[in-house]
Structure 1
């Protein structure tokens, strides 16, 4: 039958029931899942069950204490001490009477009651009535003086009043125990227990009155104090009986309502009336010889009261245990119903959740597949492949409910995501191509500019003009590196190529020549490592970026040290500055970028100051370099570039071995002008040696011939200071595919060379033959020229 929500459940057809459940509206399913647990309210059920269990346990414990554990020993102690108090009073009033034997027997009964009461001091306080343990402790402390009191009575050292006060104090402590037992957690039990406590007080008042009169019957008189005790006890007892005990009697207890009309009670009342009437105002009250009648009536009334106490005690026990049993029954019923409700909740929730889970998991799988397909589509787009949006997006089959609408939205989102990725990839590829075209055109112009600067440097010999040309040449070389950065960020690779391996020192000098503040960089290379030709261009670019970063983020006057040495797995190059360094998390982020270079979107990272790190990361990944940033001992940053063994080669057989450091001419001893060289030997730069003696090959120009007796003017030889591997071929066609590079010397070497060249040129023109180099032969260093590239 239908339920109005499209759910049809034929009997015995589980598949159709499941199919009907799938057609439930999502709102209906959620309402069922939410409201069924809310109605059962499991936490409240657990709290109620816990409270019922606690109440039942507490009532059961309290009833056990009131009836068996504490109630009966305390009641027996009350009756025993009350009787011992009267017999003690008789013995003190008439030491030779027959009451002494009765006192001895009663003391034995009292001792048994005390022995049964004493263990109650070790009761567990959990669930016990309020004030019970304190009352038990006070009674126990009172009983400790019982033996001493008895010895005083037997020795005749204790007065009647002292003995009376002692027994009365212990009895009142015992009554406090019985009163505390009536304070349970159940109201009806408390009401019934109050009448029982009142009956105990009636017995206590009768015993109090009997103890005082016991010694009065022997003496035939009472003192005014004793008379007051008796009259107070009579008034209290009558009030309790008429106002509290008799009105509280119920059931089979009502037959004791006429107890006050019995013959014994009437006799007791008559004798008390005579006693009260004979009080007068004298210091002593004379008693008639009514002791035998009093004793007979007193014993009978006490027996009746004890019968009523036992009956009341039994009824109270029954009421208390019945209520505890009722609480336990309620606890069992509620627990059973609650557990059944929880089982129903779990079963219903499981059934409905299973349906929802299958449908939602299906949507999640589709979303995960889209998540896996989208990066693959993007990767294909990055590789330049064409992607068909309709073929990549597989639409989900939808249903006419909320989850079906969600599936339709997922279809739209899938198509939109793939289409957006395709459009962004096309836009990104277009921007990269545009960026590379612009950078390539700019590189052509930069190459033409370098060529023009070469021509100007060869044409002019004025030191000031040459210095300006050198600066322009250096700026142009840096601009060429920046343009290569754009090519690399646009997805391309540097175009400069070498056909032969290059010495590592020359590579480091070339990188140094492309740094703005190159004078601060010092280079130290151990050994004679050579770099494979395929890695020269990218390695120079990487080192130049790192050197410029070191000079840019350190103080202008502090040095930047570059050290290179062979290691077990290749060659390690260290670049160390003395700047401010970075925070540990910044080092970690930079190293992570260098380890895993991301795909860089130039349009979204236009303002990122770490574009140089992106370039280094891309080039290092293509070469297999390992670049790591660490904290320097000087407080700055130390960069370690590890060149793998695949990039380090042996020195080519045709390459001339560099002069050893020990054989280099020191700065203080530059090569003299006109020093002889083997014919055809290219000039070699050494630390501190000037280029004043370098002259071009071939016959000298007659027009520029010096005066007689003077040497020829120094002339710059193009690429004379470069290693053979870094020289640019003279053939114009070969220069088309290979650009010139700046290989600069250390600051004092470059400065010494150019300074010596300028000084010697001036002296030659002025006719001064007395050329003496200054200390070190150095002047203000200037950037490397195009011939050094």
Structure 2
């Protein structure tokens, strides 16, 4: 396309110029051919019409004029007209210039009432002036048409055509003088009207002769002089002078001079001489036209061929240059796409993995010369260096920011852990139920604060600070997660004690479950339950967290599941663009542990979060009995493992509405502690996950007894009473305190 457009334009320009030049030569050639066959015939018709007019006027002036001479001339006129044939049809095939010039005469000849005039002349009923006007009109049409047809643009032909046209006008004026003189010869007198009319062609004839003397070549002037220097021409000029100088009588008429006796013979000689000269010059002009047309055709053909060769050469060069340019541009485009789709993403991935990138080594310069394409390549080289350098600087900035976030979170976490330790001491110190209720509420909020600090660690690429090595019952893991939710009273857990979670994964799973439960409770109507169910499946254990809200649209479910399935991008700089941090934290933990999290609509109209824990993170009770949990289970990621490669923004999952189910809170249905003790730890290991042992240290009046509950369950849809809430909270928190005390040396980390 780059070479096609200019090549096509060049070809069209060449074709238009060649057509114009060849058409000019062909038209001139056709004009010369038509002139050879037509111009002599037209001159003969003009000559015969002029002669018939002179004899007809003489017949009208003198009845004694012989009719035989008139009829003989009429036959000559008819024969010359017949030789023209169908003049209009022939002119239709002629070049446009000749057709336009000769067509008026052809139409006038077709419409000329020649037979009617002849009948009137025979009967001597026609007026002399009418006959002269009719014939003169047709003769003037022929002269004018011939003059216009001989107008050619070529210089050499102009110098021949113009004198020929002037000579024809001179001959016509001389014929008209002869006709007017022949009208007065029979009587030897000339009327005033005849004398005035005679002066017009006389003046035209003499002015044409003077003009010819200035435009003719010496050879042409010599040819004309052989006529104008004859005795006949001098006698004619003397008669003309006599008419001009003659005195008129009282009526304005005049007597003709005696020299008019030889007028007839002199004019016949002079008119024949001029007509011969006209035919000779016409023949030379037509021959020159043919030669000029042939020369023009040869020149135009040569020019057309040369132009065609130039077009071919130009098109070939343009095609080769454009092909080379397109090839280079394709290479530059491929390099650009490679940088955008392969190299730069690979560099960014390496930077996300913490690798060091050398900008100069990765920025491969393109060498395309020093022309315009080479300058574009140089600009591309500068762009790719800037892009890679910016990616490196951005990665350094991101890593620095992540380190700052992690450092700040760990310092805050130390304060939170200290506060939890202080709460432990206060819970042991005070036994007043009202005080304990407030302390346990503060304990729960502090646990939530610790989880929020761990969120910062996770999105900063670190791992939650809590860790352990011993397997823990999955039911205890879920109850621990419930304890970190602000509205834990609304959450019910249905799980057995047949499955345990490997120690290194406990803290992360507790955090993941707490995030899902928190979102389910937070974005559910108040006092509506959140159900947690555990089922054993082929690939591991399924934990379903279900709320009763209004759910989400299909597109929102698809978007959330896509985020949960993809590794998160570790870019803390983009977290501010999306407030859904919870989804980001869940994705980090799920990808790190190999856990699958799926969101779907629930049967109650809300949202159900299904968490699939793989077999690799689980330990069956039978395996504990046979001591196989360490022999066939892979180790979970350590706390100091390399941060994940990606980071995903998250946050609010689902709002919902629904009916609150009458269920016992998780805190009221917890089992006995199954967590490890401090003595089970290997030397140097951090303390295991704190286990809350509900009811172990409660006062006897707060324990569960087989007597009716002092506070009957509220009907569905009603919020719990303050007394029942305090009772439940006290029971849950006292069991938690007993779990801490039962493991001396354990602390919240």
8 Å CA contact 2:409–2:454 kept in 1: the answer is yes
8 Å CA contact 1:205–1:236 kept in 2: the answer is yes
1:181-192 pair list within 5 angstroms: 181-192=149-160
- Pair 1:403–1:275, CA change in 2 (3 A): closer
**Residue by residue, what CA displacement relative to the aligned partner does 1:708-729 show, whole Å, maximum 9, x if unpaired?**
xxxxxxxxx653499x9xx998
- Pair 1:152–1:425, CA change in 2 (3 A): same
Q: What value does the CA root-mean-square deviation take over the aligned residues?
A: 7.0
Pair 1:241 & 2:209 matched:
yes
- Pair 1:483–1:760, CA change in 2 (3 A): closer
8 Å CA contact 1:729–1:735 kept in 2: the answer is no
Corresponding residue for 1:255?
A: 223
Cα deviation for residue 193 of structure 1 reads 1.9
Corresponding residue for 1:196?
A: 164
Corresponding residue for 2:108?
A: 142
**Residue by residue, what CA displacement relative to the aligned partner does 1:89-135 show, whole Å, maximum 9, x if unpaired?**
3454457622441243134134325535322552577xx44xx6554
8 Å CA contact 2:535–2:542 kept in 1: the answer is no
> How many angstroms apart in 1 are the aligned matches of 2:586 and 2:49?
102
8 Å CA contact 1:387–1:422 kept in 2: the answer is yes
**Residue by residue, what CA displacement relative to the aligned partner does 1:275-318 show, whole Å, maximum 9, x if unpaired?**
33446263444557877733322232222222322332334345
Cα deviation for residue 591 of structure 1 reads 13
Corresponding residue for 2:235?
A: 267
> How many angstroms apart in 2 are the aligned matches of 1:289 and 1:232?
23
Cα deviation for residue 167 of structure 1 reads 2.4
Find 1:608's aligned residue among 551, 570, 577.
Answer: 577
> How many angstroms apart in 2 are the aligned matches of 1:494 and 1:292?
150
Corresponding residue for 1:82?
A: 50
Find 1:296's aligned residue among 265, 285, 306.
Answer: 265
Find 1:757's aligned residue among 709, 721, 727.
Answer: 721
Find 2:276's aligned residue among 295, 298, 307.
Answer: 307
> How many angstroms apart in 1 are the aligned matches of 2:451 and 2:91?
101
Cα deviation for residue 165 of structure 1 reads 1.5
> How many angstroms apart in 2 are the aligned matches of 1:439 and 1:614?
19
Comparing 155-164 with 237-246, greater Cα deviation is found at 155-164
RCO higher in structure (CA 8 A, sep ≥6):
2
Find 1:154's aligned residue among 94, 97, 119.
Answer: 119
> How many angstroms apart in 1 are the aligned matches of 2:296 and 2:549?
89
Corresponding residue for 1:562?
A: 551
**TM-score of the superposed pair, with normalisation by structure 2:** 0.57
> How many angstroms apart in 2 are the aligned matches of 1:338 and 1:369?
45
> How many angstroms apart in 1 are the aligned matches of 2:527 and 2:137?
107
**Residue by residue, what CA displacement relative to the aligned partner does 1:377-436 show, whole Å, maximum 9, x if unpaired?**
554444455668898789999999999999999999999987876676566455445545
> How many angstroms apart in 2 are the aligned matches of 1:474 and 1:310?
129
> How many angstroms apart in 1 are the aligned matches of 2:43 and 2:611?
104
Corresponding residue for 2:624?
A: none
8 Å CA contact 2:48–2:76 kept in 1: the answer is yes
8 Å CA contact 1:435–1:490 kept in 2: the answer is no
> How many angstroms apart in 1 are the aligned matches of 2:42 and 2:598?
92
Cα deviation for residue 232 of structure 1 reads 0.9
> How many angstroms apart in 1 are the aligned matches of 2:223 and 2:176?
26
**Residue by residue, what CA displacement relative to the aligned partner does 1:227-261 show, whole Å, maximum 9, x if unpaired?**
22221101111110122257413446633333201
> How many angstroms apart in 2 are the aligned matches of 1:270 and 1:311?
28
> How many angstroms apart in 2 are the aligned matches of 1:524 and 1:204?
127
> How many angstroms apart in 1 are the aligned matches of 2:320 and 2:207?
71
Cα deviation for residue 199 of structure 1 reads 1.2
**Residue by residue, what CA displacement relative to the aligned partner does 1:336-355 show, whole Å, maximum 9, x if unpaired?**
77777788889999999999
Q: SS at the partner of 1:280? A: coil
Corresponding residue for 2:195?
A: 227
Comparing 150-159 with 325-334, greater Cα deviation is found at 325-334
Comparing 487-496 with 70-79, greater Cα deviation is found at 487-496
Find 1:514's aligned residue among 503, 516, 519.
Answer: 519
Corresponding residue for 1:316?
A: 285
- Pair 1:440–1:469, CA change in 2 (3 A): same
Structure 2 gap segments, 5+ residues each: 1-6, 479-490, 494-511, 601-605, 621-656, 679-685, 693-712, 735-749
> How many angstroms apart in 2 are the aligned matches of 1:111 and 1:505?
126
Corresponding residue for 2:68?
A: 98
1:145-544 pair list within 5 angstroms: 145-147=111-113, 149-155=114-120, 156=123, 158-218=126-186, 220-244=188-212, 247-251=215-219, 254-278=222-246, 280=248, 282-287=251-256, 293-325=262-294, 327=296, 331=300, 375-384=345-354, 425=395, 428-429=398-399, 431-432=401-402, 435-436=405-406, 438=408, 484=455, 487-488=458-459, 490=461, 513-514=518-519, 518=523
| Bigger radius of gyration among the two | 2
Structure 1 gap segments, 5+ residues each: 1-40, 545-558, 565-571, 577-586, 629-639, 655-684, 695-716, 741-748, 765-784
**TM-score of the superposed pair, with normalisation by structure 1:** 0.54
